[in-house]
């Protein structure tokens, strides 16, 4: 994006933060660090009536490794909603839609996701949108080797993404980050009474039992988005009135990232854009 557009985007996000917290935050994309911005995917919502920004989610791409192969995980990142709009049903856009679009753009290959929070409502929303999430208050989700490997690398290499300092501990059995609010996210720390609760008491009970709110603990949730999860999200989380438009967008993306590459592959004698036709000369290697 041009620098002027980036500055406008940062101004819009910071205005949502100021209305949500009555104070500023200075970590991740909100710091304005060009490196953080290069690794970010921002979803921002505006009120149609006055054009004011009302909510955003700043996802971060994290290069990791799994079973000896490079993978790219997506941190669900900082989510802020203007208090006046918190009952408007925006969570499906902020928590799931962008991830599903990324999943389709990547050729529907499995996509790893992470979430760091102490808020019961968010723990529950992530578990609802992504059933493979661990920890999960709603199902007996298993802490697999892949879950653990992704979590270890995030804690070793990517703490700056979610504002956790180097002194914070990590419980690999419960996926709990102890003393998590010392790396720039200090103003997000909440007491139990301040933390918004989930409508399902199981999410509230999990947080109350496992997290120390006086110390400032967080859950690190790890989830895997694959085709069954994406289908479940579309059928359960997306409002019926919005589903046709979303399905149309997904079909259009699928055409560009699935059907067209197959068409190119089946016609090797014809150049298509930057794809060169196959010939005896092109087939030679040094």
pLDDT tens sequence across 123-168: 998 898 888 899 999 987 778 999 999 999 999 999 988 888 899 9
DSSP state of 6: H
pLDDT, position 119: 94
Q: Which residues contact 86 (CB under 8 A, 6 or more apart)?
A: none
Range 3-238: architecture per CATH: 3-Layer(aba) Sandwich (3.40)
Terminal alpha carbon distance of the chain: 39
pLDDT at 277 over 70: no
pLDDT, position 30: 84
pLDDT at 115 over 70: yes
| 102 alpha-carbon distance from chain centroid | 10
pLDDT, position 283: 43
| % of the chain exceeding 90 in pLDDT | 42
| % of the chain exceeding 70 in pLDDT | 83
pLDDT, position 257: 62
Token readout for 257 is 């990232």
pLDDT, position 278: 55
The single residue listed with the structure tokens 């059928």 is 235
Instruction: Report d(CA 120, CA 192) in Å as an integer.
Output: 9
Instruction: Report d(CA 2, CA 10) in Å as an integer.
Output: 13
Instruction: Report d(CA 217, CA 113) in Å as an integer.
Output: 20
pLDDT, position 258: 63
pLDDT, position 102: 85
DSSP H helices, the chain, are: 3-21, 34-38, 91-92, 98-105, 120-129, 145-157, 201-210, 227-236, 243-254, 260-266, 280-283
pLDDT at 279 over 70: no
Q: Per-residue pLDDT tens for 206-253?
A: 999 999 999 999 999 999 988 887 777 776 766 666 666 666 666 766
Q: Per-residue pLDDT tens for 249-274?
A: 667 666 666 666 676 677 767 665 55
Contact 189, 97 (CB under 8 A): no
By mean pLDDT, which of 91-95, 181-185, 247-251, 272-276 is the weakest?
272-276
By mean pLDDT, which of 32-36, 92-96, 188-192, 232-236 is the weakest?
232-236
Q: How many C-beta neighbours within 10 Å does residue 125 have? A: 23
């Amino acid at each position: 994006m041009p620098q002027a557009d980036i500055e406008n985007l940062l101004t819009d996000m910071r205005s949502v933060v100021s209305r949500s917290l009555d104070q500023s935050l200075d970590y991740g994309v909100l710091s304005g660090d060009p490196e953080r911005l290069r690794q970010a995917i921002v979803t921002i919502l505006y009120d149609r009536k006055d054009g004011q920004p009302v909510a955003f989610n700043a996802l971060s791409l994290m290069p990791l490794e799994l079973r000896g192969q490079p993978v790219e995980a997506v941190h669900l990142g900082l989510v802020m909603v203007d208090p006046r709009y918190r009952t408007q049903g925006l969570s499906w856009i902020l928590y799931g839609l962008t991830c599903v679009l990324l999943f389709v753009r990547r050729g529907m290959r499995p996509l790893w996701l992470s979430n760091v929070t102490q808020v019961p409502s968010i723990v529950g929303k992530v578990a609802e949108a992504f059933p493979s999430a661990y920890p999960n208050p709603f199902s007996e989700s298993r802490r697999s080797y892949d879950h653990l490997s992704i979590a270890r690398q995030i804690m070793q290499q990517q703490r700056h993404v979610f504002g956790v300092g180097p002194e914070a501990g990590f419980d690999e059995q419960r996926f709990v980050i102890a003393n998590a609010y010392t790396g720039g996210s200090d103003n997000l720390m909440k007491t139990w009474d301040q933390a918004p609760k989930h409508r399902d008491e199981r999410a509230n009970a999990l947080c109350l039992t496992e997290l120390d709110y006086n110390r400032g603990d967080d859950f690190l949730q790890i989830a895997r988005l694959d085709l069954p999860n994406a289908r479940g999200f579309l059928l359960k989380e997306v409002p019926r009135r919005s589903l046709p438009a979303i399905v149309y967008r997904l079909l259009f993306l699928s055409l560009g990232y699935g059907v067209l590459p197959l068409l190119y592959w089946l016609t090797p004698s014809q150049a298509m854009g930057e794809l060169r036709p196959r010939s005896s000369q092109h087939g030679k290697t040094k």
